[in-house]
Amino acid sequence: NGLLSTTGKRQENTESLVRQMNTLLNATGFSAHVYLGPDPRLVIPGIGLLSDAIIWHVRLTRSKHSVYITLLYERSRQHWWHAAVGGQGGKRSPVHFGARAGSWRRFSVRLVEVDIGLKVSVPSDISLFLENVESSQYIECNVAKAETFIEKHGLDSSEQALDFNQKAKEVFVRGMRVLDKLGIPFWISSGTCLGWFRQCGIISHSKDVDFGIQIKDYRDDVVKSMQTEGFKLKHSFGKVSDSFELSFTINSTKLDFFFFYEEDDHMWNGGTQARTGRKFKYVFPKFRLCWTTFVDERVRIPCPPLSYIEANYGLEWDQPVLEWNWKASPPNVRENGKWEEADWPQVIQVFDS
C-alpha cells in the first residue's frame, strides 16, 4: 500500500466530482473507493450540518496494489485537518498516516524524483513531518453531546454572559500568542477544558480561562512576555520545584497557568491558599496531548479527555455547577501540607491588578 495526501477546498458538488474522478480512473485501469463524511467546519450545535458531505479519503486499486489519498482541509489559521481512514469490519486502519484524524500546521512541499521522469511533492522537512505524525491526533468536539447539554440546561445568552465569552476568547488568543511565540506547549485545562468537552464552548459563569503547562516547559521570561502583551500579574503561588501557578488579568478577565508535575504513575498540579499557606494537590492519570478546535483556534487538549475531565469533575461532569469550591469540590484534590511561614514572601505573592 502507498499513501498520498492532497489539500482540498470546500467541494460544492461532491457527487459530480466523484463521477468525474471515477470516469478518469477507470480509463487508466484503476478502481476507486471514495470515503465521504460531513465537513466538521460546518457542523454547528443546535443547527446541524450546513453543507453536503465532503471527500475524506480515496482508495485507488489496480491489480493487488492500493494507494490511499488523504485530503487535508483548511481548518483554522494556518492549519490543516484530515479525517481518519477507518478499517473495514472492525479491523485496524490499513494505513499509519491517517489512521486517526489529524491536525497539522501548514507546511511547505518540494518536488522530488522518485523514478525516472516521475516527480511527486513531499514535505520540505520530511524528518519533522514524520516526527509530528504521532502528535498530530485531532479530536473533534462532540456536537451531539453539546446539543443534548444545551437542550437540557439551556444556553446563557444574557448580556453579561456574551460579554464574558467575548473577553474570554480575546484572553485565550492573546495568551496563546505569547506562549506560541515562546515555544511553550500548553493545553486548555480545568473549566476551559470542561467547556470544550461538554458544550463545545466557553462556560460563561466560570469567569476565567485556564491553561495547563508541563513544569519542564516553564521559562523565566514568561511573566515579562505576558506583561509585554498587556497582561498584569495577579498572583504567583509556589515555586518552580513545587506547586507553581501563575495568574494574570487583562480587561478584568483572569487567565490561570497551572503547571503540571509528572510522577511515575500520575501527574499533578498544585494549589495554594494565600490566607493560610495551605497546599493542595490535584491528581490526574497520565495523559498525552492531542489537538482540537476551540473558539476557532487550534489548541492542545489532554488525551484521552474523558479521564482528565472525570478526574477533575467526577462522573457527573455533565451537570452544571454554579458554586465551585476549588479546595473541596474537585474529586482529585488532596491536602499537600503547608508552606513554612518564613517562605510566604517567596511562595505567596499577590499583586494589585
Under the banding of pLDDT at 50, 70 and 90, the label for residue 144 is: confident
Higher pLDDT: 65 or 278? It is 278
**Nearest-angstrom CA–CA distance, 281 and 283:** 6
Mean pLDDT of the chain: 88
* pLDDT band with cut points at 50, 70 and 90 for residue 45: low
In this structure, the strands spanning 288-294 and 297-303 are antiparallel
H or E element, residue 238? strand 232-239
Encode pLDDT of 79-125 as tens digits. Answer: 899 998 765 545 566 667 778 899 999 889 999 998 888 888 999 99
Taking only Cα atoms into account, the Rg of the chain, rounded to an integer number of angstroms, comes to 23
The grid coordinates of residue 215 equal 513544569
pLDDT 10s digits, 58-84: 888 888 888 888 888 888 777 899 998
Average pLDDT of the segment spanning 306-333:
94
Average the pLDDT over 227-233 and give the result.
Answer: 97
**Between 353 and 180, whose confidence is greater?**
180
User: 68: Cβ–Cβ under 8 A, 6 or more apart, which residues?
Assistant: 1, 2, 3, 4, 57, 58, 59, 60, 85, 94, 95, 98
pLDDT tops 80 at residue 30: yes
At residue 4 the predicted structure's pLDDT band, cuts being 50, 70 and 90, is very low
Reported confidence tier of residue 235, pLDDT bands at 50, 70, 90? very high
pLDDT band at 47; cut points 50, 70, 90: low
**Which residue has cell 477546498?**
9
275 — pLDDT class (breaks 50, 70, 90): very high
Q: What is the largest CA-CA distance in the chain?
A: 82
Q: Which of 48-62, 147-161, 279-293 has the highest mean pLDDT?
A: 279-293
pLDDT higher for 22 or 115?
115
